[in-house]
Amino acid sequence: ISFVGFAVVDRLLRHGYTVRLALETQEDLDKLREMEMFGEDGRDGVWTVMANVTDPESLHRAFDGCAGVFHTSAFVDPGGMSGYTKHMASLEAKAAEQVIAACVRTESVRKCVFTSSLLACVWRQNYPHDRRFPTIINENCWSDESFCRDNKLWFALGKTAAEKAAWRAARGRDLKLVTVCPALVTGPGFRRRNSTASIAYLKGARAMLADGLLATASVETVAEAHVRVYEAMGDNTAGGRYICYDHVVQRPEEFAELERQLGIPRRAAAAAAAAQDSGDRPARFELCRQKLARLMSTRRRCTYDDYYSVAFD
């Protein structure tokens, strides 16, 4: 059950929404009960239902009656050792197609908020180099899938391919789609609850650090962004993609602390050395979150639909 997904559910409940939580396995349901996060089924405004992202019928049943879907699923390595793999990147794209197709098919569903990643925006080979000012990375920027594949950036490849698949599946359909592209998600317990995604995100981190592209986002910020864009979709003031981050990592010691928290200090030392080798060279890129900042600065709407489904893998 995804780290971001839990935070989105919690934020929806705090704002007075009712949530239907789509779980893939009985094991997920058992874990949820052990954590005692939402009480008995339906008691705290959360209902659970079984669904599988590879089974269109189960997705349709899970979404039926819901006004909107938050697709926050996180793919993890079942063995817990090898991290995010090329095969998982392929699964992520296929799952995105299935979820959007199920949203389109389900008459009650009008809106979908899709969790992508900042990594779907930053990896390209042919950015300009000798510029007086840094190149702005905003929602118009897409990572190059061939570049990600050639450099074995599987997490970035999966997020890029999945988001593109979602947009293709929604094109021309009666469904409002918005994607949120968060930076490395941090927060209480992120090593324990989000370690695979965090470590996978940091593949290529030395280059991101040197170029001004390594950023973090608290899980609370990411959850609030999901809810705010969802609400703004109702009057068409939200649309397209939204880059989401709190802080750009600029100092080697900051990055070393991040990787220490994830239990991989040797990589941190290597990254710190690489950053120091770059001297005082200014970053080639500058991340831009103005689109989300403008939306988050507006007053929250106070109208609620009845059901919101959060799809997990």
For residue 196, the one-letter residue type is T
Q: Is 159 a catalytic residue?
A: yes
Which residue from 197, 234, 203, 211 is spatially nearest to 137, judged by alpha carbons? Answer: 211
In a domain, 6, yes or no: no
In a domain, 50, yes or no: no
What domain range is 158 assigned to? 68-264+282-297
- Residue 217 predicted with pLDDT over 90: yes
Query: How do residues 47-58 score in pLDDT, each as one tens digit?
Result: 889 998 889 999
Q: How far apart are alpha carbons 183 and 186 in whole angstroms?
A: 9
How many structural domains is the chain composed of? Answer: 1
Query: How do residues 65-123 score in pLDDT, each as one tens digit?
Result: 999 999 997 666 555 545 678 888 899 999 999 999 999 999 999 999 999 999 999 99
- Residue 255 predicted with pLDDT over 80: yes
Q: Say which CATH number the domain at 121 has.
A: 3.40.50.720
In a domain, 47, yes or no: no
In a domain, 13, yes or no: no
In a domain, 101, yes or no: yes
Which residue from 67, 70, 69, 104 is spatially nearest to 2, judged by alpha carbons? Answer: 70
pLDDT of residue 313: 46
Residue 268: which pLDDT band, with cuts at 50, 70 and 90? very low
Find the mean pLDDT for residues 257-267: 74
- Residue 216 predicted with pLDDT over 50: yes
In a domain, 85, yes or no: yes
- Compute CA distances 203 → 47, 184, 228, 269, 281, whole Å: 36, 11, 30, 14, 22
Task: Choose between 131 and 180: higher pLDDT.
Answer: 180
In a domain, 292, yes or no: yes
In a domain, 33, yes or no: no
Which of 94, 111, 152, 159 is catalytic? The answer is 159
- Residue 40 predicted with pLDDT over 60: no
pLDDT of residue 276: 55
Helix (H, G, I), strand (E, B) or coil at 61: helix
